[in-house]
């Protein structure tokens, strides 16, 4: 533990007349960055990085710096409202918190009694560190249905790593890997999950060799020693090709494989199905480059893989993750300094324990939507979104009557957006908790004003696997906004769960910290707590898997009826799988280009951040643009078999002429019509969510790779 000591800020406070400064931790993205929040006359006046924080060492991105603009935005929801007209009418009436929570509680109890608790679906997006609280509420209610991004974002890494090696392997940047392979990730832009761009950049400056796997020439790819510009969606084939080289050239860690690996012989047979000539044909990556990358990664120690969500939002989701973990494992880079470490969290009640999963009756767990189809997901209480839309629209396998979305905007972020919109229009009752009236919130019956990270006390990063927890301290109060944790604690008493909750949610924070022997008031006085750091723990107790070994052959996937070894599947749409469709839609569309100011659908109304990105942008190679009659900055139409959207053209030689790259989650908060242009530039109008296009074990929706046509927009509302 480290005692909380302020940095040297007295001079700045004196010069600028600030009243106070509070150490806290930002949550404008996945969170964790230490900040100094300066206040003047009771308002946030400035936010700066905290140089004493071990996560970001004083650096801070544009989102963190602009946090106050979010908190004080004039369009911010600051009190509960209820809808007065038809859905989407934009007619709202201010109500009290008591009326809002009483209304929500009455509906929940009514539906539970009439249709079963499974008819009530809780939901959240990337989360505001509210995951455990939402699951606790749902499990105690008796509903097995919590709709998250977990089927195709971070959840697959957790699920597959638990069945492979016991927990999520985290890059140990503190001990500077000598080789870093960045795969489907752009961490200097997106600061994903357990990572920030700053420690990665420091390791590069220390001399690490860099391999980047990405269809686009990103900033990282431009700096790489080896850039593997693969055909979108062929990640598993590329990884298996690299494994083929490492296995057949004897570059693997023989001692680790002999003593700590399960399924080696079968695994060798599988990677031999991917010789480099075949891999080149599949991936478009020259054999020479595949071999060069494999040699670099296998022979420079320690090495680590910085992986990201791009490999999860496709049909090969689980096998992509498993193939990359195989690369980490057989090269001897698991749980070693500077490699991929299985960090220990402090001795707290973790997300799973706080989530009260043991309180959900087995007969209710068996009703989890999609649980029998996507068994890896179901084992981790994760559901595929289409299962919910079907239960609303078709009442199959039973009727879902109520949705409660917290920090989520599925109209913009889930595949087949028109079906999502239709389901949210049709569901009998929906509540939403958010900062603003989003396209999703506009369809709700009751909307609650959520607190930003500046307005709450909480234990930051306690859901992550990097080993730290950090105190997030409340600085301000805006209107009647309340944290999701406080709101659910209050709602729980109204639906009969009071014995499992607290008078205020500070009791919940004490409960999380209790195994450490401290309270929230004690933790607030500290900078952070870190779990014990120890390497190669498997040499003492093995891995936390059924075989106690690193499972290349997954015994759990075998038990559930899936292929126990990683494999490659062609994309549901593509030049190989659907050649006739490819003639009509001759470009491969990738849909996840990240922007530094936005966090999925968020922040497009924040002035400093929107100034960075006025319009949605699609990246096109100049040869493609010339062929299609498109010029830089033109509004263009992107069309798939499911619909059309418009974005502005940006020409780039860093993308293959056969590929175009679009930005996701675009809506226009400045438009005061109730739809906010939700279907104009939303790339998920084009994506598919059919079950057969999803990852068979995880249920991950294939939103990243599809086919499209692209052409100029002639006039507004008129296309060629």
How far apart CA 255 and CA 246 sit, in angstroms, is 15
Give the CATH architecture of domain 579-719: Beta Barrel (2.40)
User: How many secondary structure helices (H) and strands (E) does the chain include?
Assistant: 29, 29
Residue 114 CB neighbours (<10 A): 10
CATH topology of domain 81-154+349-467+477-516: Rossmann fold (3.40.50)
DSSP string, 633-696: T-EEEEEETTEEEEEEEEE-TTB-TTEEEEE-S---TT--STTTTTTTS-GGGT----GGGS-T
How far apart CA 145 and CA 383 sit, in angstroms, is 7
Task: Take residue 678 and report the two structure tokens written for it.
Answer: 């939700």
**Strands 643-651 and 617-620, sheet pairing:** parallel
DSSP 36: E
CATH class of 169-341: alpha beta
pLDDT of residue 519: 98
Kindly give, in sequence order, each residue whose CB lies less than 8 Å from that of residue 571, ignoring residues fewer than 6 positions away: 232, 233, 314, 315, 577, 702, 705, 706
Task: Take residue 247 and report the two structure tokens written for it.
Answer: 């296995």
pLDDT by residue (tens digit) across 682-717? 999 999 999 999 999 999 999 999 999 999 998 755
How far apart CA 254 and CA 31 sit, in angstroms, is 38
Kindly give, in sequence order, each residue whose CB lies less than 8 Å from that of residue 250, ignoring residues fewer than 6 positions away: none
pLDDT of residue 304: 98
How far apart CA 142 and CA 93 sit, in angstroms, is 31
- Ramachandran region, residue 554 (left: φ > 0; alpha: ψ -120 to 50; beta: rest): beta
pLDDT by residue (tens digit) across 280-301? 999 999 999 999 999 999 999 9
Q: Burial, 394: exposed, middle or buried (Cβ in 10 Å; 0-12, 13-18, 19+)?
A: exposed
3-state secondary structure of 234: coil
- Ramachandran region, residue 643 (left: φ > 0; alpha: ψ -120 to 50; beta: rest): left
pLDDT of residue 483: 97
How far apart CA 169 and CA 45 sit, in angstroms, is 39
Task: Take residue 319 and report the two structure tokens written for it.
Answer: 């096998």
How far apart CA 34 and CA 22 sit, in angstroms, is 11
pLDDT of residue 7: 47
Contact at 8 Å (CB) between 440 and 405?
Answer: yes
pLDDT of residue 8: 66
Distance of CA 372 to the CA centre of its chain: 24
Q: What are the extents of the domains in the chain?
A: 81-154+349-467+477-516, 169-341, 579-719
| Nearest to 551, CA basis, from 288, 307, 717, 329 | 329
First to last CA, the chain: 64
pLDDT of residue 716: 53
pLDDT < 50: residue spans in the chain: 1-7, 719-720
3-state secondary structure of 240: helix
Q: What pTM was estimated for this model as a whole?
A: 0.96
What sign does the dihedral 486-384-139-309 (CA atoms) show? negative
């Amino acid at each position: 533990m480290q005692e909380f000591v302020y940095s040297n800020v007295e001079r700045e406070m004196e010069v600028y007349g600030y009243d106070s400064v509070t150490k806290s931790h930002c949550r404008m993205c996945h969170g964790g960055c230490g900040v100094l929040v300066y206040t003047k006359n009771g308002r946030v006046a400035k936010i700066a990085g905290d140089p004493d924080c071990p996560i970001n060492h004083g650096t801070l991105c544009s989102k963190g710096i602009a946090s106050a603009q979010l908190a004080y935005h004039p369009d911010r929801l600051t009190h509960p409202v209820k809808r007065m007209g038809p859905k989407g009418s934009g007619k709202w009436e201010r109500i009290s918190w008591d009326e809002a929570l009483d209304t929500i509680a009455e509906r929940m109890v009514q539906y539970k009694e009439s249709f079963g608790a499974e008819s009530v679906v809780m939901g959240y997006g990337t989360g505001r560190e509210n995951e455990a609280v939402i699951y606790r509420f749902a499990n105690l209610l008796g509903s097995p249905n919590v709709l998250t991004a977990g089927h195709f974002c971070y959840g697959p890494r957790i699920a597959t790593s638990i069945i492979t090696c016991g927990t999520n392997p985290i890059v140990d940047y503190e001990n500077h890997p000598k080789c870093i392979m960045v795969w489907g990730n752009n961490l200097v832009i997106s600061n994903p999950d357990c990572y920030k761009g700053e420690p990665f950049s420091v390791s590069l400056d220390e001399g690490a060799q860099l391999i980047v796997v990405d269809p686009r020439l990103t900033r990282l790819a431009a700096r790489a020693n080896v850039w593997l510009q693969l055909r979108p969606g062929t990640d598993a084939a590329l990884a298996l090709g690299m494994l083929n080289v490492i296995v057949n050239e004897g570059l693997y860690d023989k001692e680790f494989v002999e003593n700590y690996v399960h399924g080696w012989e079968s695994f060798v047979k599988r990677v031999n199905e991917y010789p480099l000539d075949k891999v080149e044909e599949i991936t478009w990556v020259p054999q020479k480059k595949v071999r060069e990358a494999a040699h670099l990664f296998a022979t420079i120690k320690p090495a680590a893989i910085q992986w990201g969500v791009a490999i999860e939002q496709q049909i090969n989701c689980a096998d992509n993750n498993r193939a990359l973990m195989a690369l980490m494992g057989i090269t001897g880079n698991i749980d070693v300094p500077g490699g991929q470490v299985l960090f220990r969290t402090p001795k707290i009640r973790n997300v799973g324990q706080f989530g009260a999963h043991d309180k959900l009756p087995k007969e209710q767990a068996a009703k989890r939507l999609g649980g029998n189809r996507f068994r890896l997901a179901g084992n981790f209480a994760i559901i595929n979104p289409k299962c919910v839309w079907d239960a609303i629209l078709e009442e199959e396998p039973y009727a879902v009557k109520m949705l409660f979305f917290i920090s989520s905007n599925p109209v913009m972020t889930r595949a087949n957006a028109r079906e999502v919109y239709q389901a949210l229009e049709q569901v009998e009752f929906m509540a939403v908790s958010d900062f603003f009236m989003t396209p999703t919130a506009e369809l709700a019956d009751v909307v609650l004003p959520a607190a930003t990270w500046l307005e709450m006390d909480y234990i930051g990063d306690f859901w992550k696997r990097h080993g730290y927890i950090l105190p997030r301290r409340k600085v301000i109060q805006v209107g009647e906004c309340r944290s999701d944790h406080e709101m659910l604690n209050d709602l729980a008493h109204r639906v009969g769960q009071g014995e499992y909750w607290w008078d205020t949610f500070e009791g919940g924070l004490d409960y999380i910290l209790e195994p450490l022997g401290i309270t929230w008031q004690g933790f607030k006085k500290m900078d952070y707590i870190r779990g014990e750091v120890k390497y190669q723990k498997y040499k003492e107790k093995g891995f936390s898997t059924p075989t106690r070994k690193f499972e290349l052959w997954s015994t759990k996937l075998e038990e559930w009826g899936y292929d126990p070894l990683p494999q490659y599947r062609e994309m549901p749409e593509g030049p190989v799988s659907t050649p006739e469709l490819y003639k009509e839609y001759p470009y491969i569309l990738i849909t996840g280009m990240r922007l530094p100011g936005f966090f999925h659908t968020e922040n497009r109304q924040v002035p400093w951040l929107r100034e960075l990105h006025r319009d949605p942008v699609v990246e096109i190679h100049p040869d493609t643009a010339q062929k299609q009659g498109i010029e830089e900055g033109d509004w263009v139409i992107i069309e798939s078999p499911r619909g059309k959207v418009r974005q502005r053209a940006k020409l780039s030689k860093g993308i293959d002429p056969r590929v175009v790259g679009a930005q996701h989650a675009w809506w226009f908060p400045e438009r005061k019509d109730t739809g906010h242009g939700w279907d104009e530039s939303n790339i998920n109008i084009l994506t598919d969510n059919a079950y057969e296009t999803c990852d068979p074990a995880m249920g991950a929706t294939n939103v990243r790779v599809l086919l499209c046509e692209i052409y100029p927009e002639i006039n507004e509302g008129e296309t060629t």
